[in-house]
A = this chain, B = another copy of it.
């Protein structure tokens, strides 16, 4: 075809050439990958005796994201980091990922290259090499299904179901910041406006919290999950799985200057961002009061807040405690198929 390189489409070069280029763009996967892309399976070397953690996650154009809002490089970064976040949420360490990429025939080769650069950047940041994948034509836009394998010592993975009455609830980072980033992009806030750069970074390049997992190694974590379904729903999921209730304090949820600035610029409520905004990959943890103080200190010095945001109670209802009183804690987040609020604003 006579396309200029800039305009080259995947239909111009075909599946097998594209696979060869993708391998080159991804580079060689290091340990624990024993054998990377190119055979029937990837081979990875887990720690003998460890348990395997397995999780799969999808990002589909017009369902989970719009391409105006997310450059291909950010999509690659986000696809890997958001899937790996589930391994962090179990207190595990990543072994490697396989990525099933669906592309429309008119996708630009240069976009696929950028996507791979994003994958590679996330793989390096997370220590989670891309060990293999699958390439397919796709109707209806780009889609990425990322499956991450991780590991944890036998019996040591953090489940949702182990929270005990009296535990404190702890939260990493700023739960509403990614949602603020989406709001900033959806409403076209200037990148130079207050808080926008930080919020966009949280939305486009979420960081799976393996740094927190490492800092919490050996700590008495009773239960954990990540906030991919928004804090309000996730806190209720943890409560339900543990046969308990939770009380969340709004106090600790309003300390994010970036989300506050974006919300102020848009006349919106930063508490809504923190409670109901999706696309956040912070960790919610249950542990005895005070038990994480030391880790919190260590993480604070590296720039990642870890703060108590509530407590686990013996019985329901689960509540939100505000300066003016107590109210029921209720979920309000995106649900597929029924046209609920989409955390990224994309309806079905």
Contacts and interface: CB of A to CB of B under 8 A. Distances in A.
A278 interface: no
A55 to B, nearest CB: 4
A308 to B, nearest CB: 21
B52 A43 contact: yes
Given A145-B147, A147-B147, 17 more contacts: A14-B335, A14-B336, A15-B336, A39-B159, A39-B225, A40-B89, A40-B90, A40-B160, A41-B87, A41-B89, A43-B54, A57-B100, A98-B147, A102-B143, A105-B337, A105-B348, A149-B149
A301 interface: no
A51 interface: yes
Question: Would you list the 10 A-B pairs with minimal beta carbon distance, nearest first?
Answer: A140-B140, A139-B140, A147-B147, A145-B145, A14-B338, A40-B89, A40-B86, A41-B53, A15-B336, A56-B98
A324 B194 CA distance: 78
27 contacts: A11-B339, A14-B335, A38-B160, A40-B224, A40-B226, A41-B53, A41-B157, A42-B54, A43-B152, A44-B54, A45-B51, A46-B46, A46-B50, A48-B49, A54-B147, A56-B98, A56-B147, A57-B100, A57-B134, A58-B145, A63-B136, A64-B136, A105-B337, A134-B145, A138-B140, A145-B145, A145-B147
A135 interface: yes
Given A98-B147, A337-B10, A43 B157 contact: yes
Counting chain A residues whose Cβ lies within 8 A of the other chain, the interface size class is 35 or more
Total identical chains = 2
Contact of A56 (B11, B16, B62, B133): B133
Nearest to A283: B40
Interface of A: 10-11, 13-16, 18, 34-35, 38-46, 48-58, 60, 62-64, 85-87, 89-90, 92, 95-96, 98-100, 102-103, 105, 131-141, 143, 145, 147, 149-150, 152, 154, 157, 159-161, 224-226, 241, 335-340, 348
